[in-house]
Structures are given as structure tokens and as C-alpha cells.
Chains A and B, each alone.
Chain A
Amino acid sequence: MTGRARDDEGADAVDEAEQLIEVDGVEKVFTVRRRAGRLRRVREEVRAVDGISFRVARGEMVGYIGPNGAGKSTTIKMLTGILVPSGGRLRVAGIDPAQQRTRLARRIGVVFGQRTTLWWDLPLKDSYELVRRMYRIPDAAYRAHLERCVELLDLAPLLDVPVRQLSLGQRMRGDIAAALLPDPEVLYLDEPTIGLDVVSKAKVRGFLREVNAERGTTVLLTTHDLTDIEQLCRRVMVIDHGRLVYDGGLDGLRAAGGGERTLVVDLERELPPIEGVPGARTVRVDGPRQWLAFPASQSAAPLVAAVAAGYPLVDLSVREPDIESLIAELYAGGGMRADAAGAGGKDGRAL
């Protein structure tokens, strides 16, 4: 797997486009009461979102990642208006979500992977019919959107099935279609691929890509699956402890995290650790298999050539750093390393 090359021309076009989501210094502080001793209770503040700022242009597809409890869902809730920020300024399509939740509701779609809005005991199509009426979707548009959803998400065999009988992946596809029937300008997805198998994930991703390309729907998605981001998003934002620690391209993130890729080589026989390969160091040896770490920003090709020249190479693979360790490194390092920021590309910003 290789990182998707960024299309810089495309990025420029996006920069000039209308800013659909504007977030300026937004905070969310929860007050929780905690027991301290037998009767005493103390109030504690949880800074779930701690002053974040970003902009998303119309038509962008942005990944929003971070470890558990980082503040992703809290951010999404504030963007939908079902949670009022404690501070900062927030605009979606020019609307203050918390002030005009219902007005905004007609223009956004939301999918919380863990929650469903479908009618539990009724066939899937009944929920869609209700969405049509609730959002007053004109008949022709409704038919067209439904047809597209049914085709791309493979819903045809599910339309007459009561929602309670759907599997998790089927239900999720059903929920995503319901969110998109009103043809929203923005779609927020909070872990849309959680618990899905490979086939369902692929369907969901293909559908989102299509919707983004065809309808120009702006998409903000949180996930713990880096593959979602790799396949869908040109831009990724990383949040940890309520702060944005990275905002930029995926390649930049790799470099920024100081992430290292690993070249795994299988040799003909057991040999001492490989030496003399510039830019790489051998980190592990297990029989004929050896692991070589090298900077994420560096190409693997010269390494492979160097190893092949000096050793009896049988097989090889390149492993990308996984997202969790990237984030962990990012945070432990107090944000991006300055040198890596440069290597990360022009839209990778140290935050």
C-alpha cells in the first residue's frame, strides 16, 4: 500500500472555494460530579474540546482522527447543534448550529455509527418514506436519490426487511442512505465503518467517494480505521486531548509523526543482521526474516535495491506505521517536529 499522492492543483481549487464549516477557538467543557469520600462530591471540569480551529471548504472530504476520548464525537455534536460550545465561534453554511438547530437540520446529514435513526420494527423502506416526508423531498428527487443509494449500497434486498432483522453492516448502510436521501450539503459521519466487515466497508467507502464526487457533498468523518482515511480523504485532522495536533495531508502526517516505515525481507537462509543499507537500520531478526526501519518520507525502492544487491532476497513487503502509534508519537512529541513539517507538504501545518 502506498500513500495517495496529493493532487496539488485540486488542493488549490479547494482553497479558493467557499468555506462551509468555520470553527474558531471552539471549546467544550463538561462539568462532572465525582465522589470524593463518603458524602463529599467534587465538581470537576473535563475539557473535551480545548480550543480548536479549522475550516472545511465546500466539497472537501476530511478525516478526523484521534485516540478514544480525544473529543471527536464532541466536535461533531457541536457541529450538528445538539451540543452547545462552551466557547469559541462555529458556523456551518453561515448558520450557528446551536442557535438554529432545526433550520440547519434540513441541510446536514449525520450518521453516528453506534446509534440508529431507523424505525426498529418496520421495513427499511418505511423509514425512507418518513424521511421523504419529514424533509419534504420532492418526489422526483427522492426517487433519484433512493435509486442511487439502493444501487451503490446494495440495499435492494433489504428494503422490505424490518430494521431489527438487519445485520450491523446492513443497518449501517441503511442509516447512511437515510442521512443522504435529503441530499445534504454536509455529511458528518462518526465511525461509519465501526464493526463492519471488509465487504461492507468497501461498499460504504465507494458510496461516500461517489457522493462526494457526484453531488459535491462535504464530508467530515471520524474513524479508527486508517484505511478509511487513506481511501477517502485528501486531508486529515488529528485531535488529542481536545486539541488539534495535526491538520494536513496524509503523507505529511506520516512524516510529521516521525513515523517510520518498515521493510520486511525474507532471505534464503538465516543471516546476521543486514548492514550497509543507507537510511535504514535493522530492528529485528527472526530466522531468515528481518525487519528494517526507515523514515516514512523516504522511498523504499533504493533500500530494496541495496538489500537485493548484497543479500539472497526471496520476498519482501513494506509496512506503513499504524495510526495509533503515529498519534501516540505526535502527542508524546508535543506536536509536529519542525523538520518533518516541511517534509509533510505545504498544507501540513504544525499546530
Chain B
Amino acid sequence: MWYAAVAAGSFRRYATYQMATVAGVFTNTVFGFIVAFTYLALWHERPHLGGYDQAQALTFVWTGQALLATAALMGGGLDELQERIRSGDIAVDLYRPADLQLWWLSADLGRAGLQLLGRGVVPMAVGALAFPLALPGDPLTWGCFLLSVLCGVVVSFALRYLVALASFWLLDGSGLALISGLAGMFFSGMLLPLRVFPGGLGEVAQLLPWAAVLQTPADVLVGALRGGALVRGLVFQAAWAVGLLALGRLVQSAATRKVVVHGG
């Protein structure tokens, strides 16, 4: 599959942004400390909030920081696509013997891979040194976590791809990008684990696609999902991934039709 070359190229491309990576690691680590101390205070008052003990809650915090860039929780990662749509350059991409969605998915996976290594590992390691984290000891759980992260990145991509495609119809897509970024922060569990949300809101939030981006992988890592629940978690992610990618294809073909018939 030559799309692997697209992913590899994208990986190399993000590797050239060394300053951004260093700055990102610094920010993630600082925020990790701020949120970790907030959680410590919270869990001191309300132990076992949302069913997590203190170590699990802290692990959740650092997982969120590690995946913030990887899963592009605040949006981004597809700015170039959005820019190509806005400028009309996207038309030239259409005559290449390549599928637009697969192309950008590959590129986004390459980006996510680099950012997991570049911006994920260090904050997680710092967190583990500074706090007592509930990290799994067995490789199987780590493997499931990585699989879950992969699914989460695909769901995140599928959502951001839809947002980017909206630029075909909207003159200015930045408003939509902002809203979806905020939704991503809130409904992924980045601010607070979704299980902590009270009543109906928490239950609904856990069914939304954003939950598949962070809540599920984090639950896998902290051991909140085991056995059958873990399998159900992965299926939940895969279902959203497939559903949203399919929706993306539908919108993509409408966008393509718009370009080839109406000239953009």
C-alpha cells in the first residue's frame, strides 16, 4: 500500500517541527501538573469520584496530556486540507490517482504517530515520576491501549475531516473548527472524565464519538475497562470510526460533485 508512504512522509514532516514539539512537550507537562494538583484536591474531597481511585484519576490526567496532540483533541492537524479547499488547490488533488480520504487519513496517522512519540511519551514519563500513577504492568493492556489510541485517532480524524469538508460550503470554516474543538475538549473527557459527569449528561456524553477519542483509551490504560467491557469499548470506538468515515465519504462525494460540476 503506497498510502504508507504518505503516512511516513507526514511523520517526517512533523518531525521537522522540532521547536513546536519542544514547546508542546513543555506546555503539556505544565498543564499536566496544574490539572493533576486540581484532581488531587478534588479526589481528596471526593474519593472514588466516577469510580476512579486517586492513582487512576492522576493517570487519566497524564493520558489526556499525552494524547492531546496525538488525537488532536482541540482540532487541527488538517489545516492544510482546509487551506487547499479554501484556495481551490483541492481541484488539482482530484486528478491524482489517489483517494482523498485515504490520503488524508494516512497523513493524519503519520502525524499522530510522530506526536505520540514526540509529545506523548515525555509528559507521561514526567507524570509517572512525579505522581503515583496506576500504569498497567502487563504488555497486553499496553497493547490494548495502543489499539484503542489508534481507534481514537481514526475517530478524531473522521470528525475533523467532516469539519474540513464543510469549507466546501462555508466561506469561513474557522467558527465551526472552534466549536468542534471546544466540543472535543469537553466531550472527550479532557477536562473531566465523562464518568464523573452527573446523571444523564454523563451517560449521553459517554455515547458520543468524542468519548471514543480519549475517554475509552484512558479507561483502558487505567484499568477501568477490563475483559468484556474492554472489548465493548473497542467495538464502540470501531463503530464510530466506521460510521464517521462512511459519512465522510458521503460528504466527500457531494463535495467532489460540487467541484467537478460547479467548479468549486
A binding-site residues for B, Cβ under 8 Å: 28, 30-31, 74, 77, 80-84, 98, 101-102, 104-106, 108, 110, 112, 115-117, 119-122, 126, 129-130, 133-136, 162
A-B contact pairs, 26 of them (CB 8 A): A28-B263, A31-B262, A74-B263, A77-B263, A82-B92, A82-B259, A83-B260, A83-B263, A101-B260, A105-B95, A110-B95, A112-B92, A115-B89, A115-B91, A121-B13, A121-B17, A122-B9, A122-B16, A130-B2, A130-B5, A133-B2, A133-B5, A134-B96, A134-B97, A136-B2, A162-B16
Q: For residue A129, which residues in chain B have a CB less than 8 angstroms away from its CB?
A: 5
Q: For residue A102, which residues in chain B have a CB less than 8 angstroms away from its CB?
A: 97
B6 interfacial by beta-carbon distance below 8 Å: yes
**How far is B261's CA from A115's CA once the two chains are assembled, in angstroms?**
20
Q: Verify A101–B95 contact, CB threshold 8 A.
A: yes
B binding-site residues for A, Cβ under 8 Å: 2, 5-6, 9, 12-13, 16-17, 80, 87-89, 91-98, 259-263
In the assembled complex, the CB of B114 is this many whole angstroms from the nearest CB of chain A, namely 12
Q: For residue B16, which residues in chain A have a CB less than 8 angstroms away from its CB?
A: 121-122, 162
Pick the 9 closest A-B CB pairs, nearest first: A133-B2, A105-B97, A121-B13, A80-B95, A82-B94, A115-B89, A133-B5, A84-B260, A115-B92
Q: Verify A105–B96 contact, CB threshold 8 A.
A: yes
Q: Verify A122–B97 contact, CB threshold 8 A.
A: no
Q: Verify B9–A117 contact, CB threshold 8 A.
A: no
**How far is B260's CA from A31's CA once the two chains are assembled, in angstroms?**
13
**How far is B89's CA from A82's CA once the two chains are assembled, in angstroms?**
12
Q: For residue A136, which residues in chain B have a CB less than 8 angstroms away from its CB?
A: 2
Q: Verify B91–A106 contact, CB threshold 8 A.
A: no
In the assembled complex, the CB of A70 is this many whole angstroms from the nearest CB of chain B, namely 15
Q: For residue A115, which residues in chain B have a CB less than 8 angstroms away from its CB?
A: 87-89, 91-92
Q: For residue A162, which residues in chain B have a CB less than 8 angstroms away from its CB?
A: 16
**How far is B16's CA from A130's CA once the two chains are assembled, in angstroms?**
18
**How far is B17's CA from A130's CA once the two chains are assembled, in angstroms?**
21
Which residue of A28, A117, A120 contacts B93 across the interface (Cβ within 8 Å)?
Answer: A117
**How far is B105's CA from A273's CA once the two chains are assembled, in angstroms?**
73
Q: Verify A135–B97 contact, CB threshold 8 A.
A: yes
Q: For residue A106, which residues in chain B have a CB less than 8 angstroms away from its CB?
A: 97
Q: For residue A28, which residues in chain B have a CB less than 8 angstroms away from its CB?
A: 263
In the assembled complex, the CB of A194 is this many whole angstroms from the nearest CB of chain B, namely 15
**How far is B261's CA from A30's CA once the two chains are assembled, in angstroms?**
9
In the assembled complex, the CB of B247 is this many whole angstroms from the nearest CB of chain A, namely 22
Task: Provide the main secondary structure of the chain B interface.
Answer: helix
Q: For residue B259, which residues in chain A have a CB less than 8 angstroms away from its CB?
A: 82-83
Contacts A110-B92, A136-B2 aside, 10 further interface pairs with beta carbons under 8 A come to A30-B263, A77-B263, A101-B260, A102-B97, A104-B95, A115-B89, A115-B91, A116-B89, A122-B12, A134-B98
Q: Verify A108–B95 contact, CB threshold 8 A.
A: yes
**How far is B91's CA from A82's CA once the two chains are assembled, in angstroms?**
7
Q: Verify A119–B92 contact, CB threshold 8 A.
A: no
Q: Verify A101–B92 contact, CB threshold 8 A.
A: no
Q: For residue A134, which residues in chain B have a CB less than 8 angstroms away from its CB?
A: 2, 96-98
**B5 (CB) vs chain A CBs: closest residue:** A133
In the assembled complex, the CB of B81 is this many whole angstroms from the nearest CB of chain A, namely 12
**How far is B69's CA from A206's CA once the two chains are assembled, in angstroms?**
47
Q: For residue A126, which residues in chain B have a CB less than 8 angstroms away from its CB?
A: 9, 12
Which residue of B87, B91, B93 contacts A77 across the interface (Cβ within 8 Å)?
Answer: B91
**B91 (CB) vs chain A CBs: closest residue:** A82
Q: For residue A112, which residues in chain B have a CB less than 8 angstroms away from its CB?
A: 92
Q: For residue B91, which residues in chain A have a CB less than 8 angstroms away from its CB?
A: 77, 82-83, 115
**How far is B13's CA from A116's CA once the two chains are assembled, in angstroms?**
17
Q: Verify A119–B96 contact, CB threshold 8 A.
A: no
**How far is B95's CA from A77's CA once the two chains are assembled, in angstroms?**
9
Q: For residue A98, which residues in chain B have a CB less than 8 angstroms away from its CB?
A: 260
Q: Verify B92–A117 contact, CB threshold 8 A.
A: yes
Known: A117-B93, A120-B80, A134-B96. A84 touches B261 (CB 8 A): yes
Q: Verify A117–B5 contact, CB threshold 8 A.
A: no
Q: Verify A119–B13 contact, CB threshold 8 A.
A: yes
In the assembled complex, the CB of B86 is this many whole angstroms from the nearest CB of chain A, namely 13
In the assembled complex, the CB of B132 is this many whole angstroms from the nearest CB of chain A, namely 40
**B97 (CB) vs chain A CBs: closest residue:** A105
In the assembled complex, the CB of B85 is this many whole angstroms from the nearest CB of chain A, namely 13
Q: Verify B96–A117 contact, CB threshold 8 A.
A: yes
**B88 (CB) vs chain A CBs: closest residue:** A115
In this complex, the member of A30, A82, A108, A116 whose beta carbon has the largest number of chain B beta carbons within 10 angstroms is: A82
Q: For residue B13, which residues in chain A have a CB less than 8 angstroms away from its CB?
A: 119, 121-122
Which residue of A31, A80, A104, A119 contacts B9 across the interface (Cβ within 8 Å)?
Answer: A119
Known: A82-B260, A121-B13. A130 touches B6 (CB 8 A): yes
**How far is B82's CA from A162's CA once the two chains are assembled, in angstroms?**
21
**How far is B9's CA from A121's CA once the two chains are assembled, in angstroms?**
10
In the assembled complex, the CB of A175 is this many whole angstroms from the nearest CB of chain B, namely 10
**How far is B263's CA from A84's CA once the two chains are assembled, in angstroms?**
9
**How far is B6's CA from A333's CA once the two chains are assembled, in angstroms?**
53
**How far is B94's CA from A102's CA once the two chains are assembled, in angstroms?**
8
**B14 (CB) vs chain A CBs: closest residue:** A121
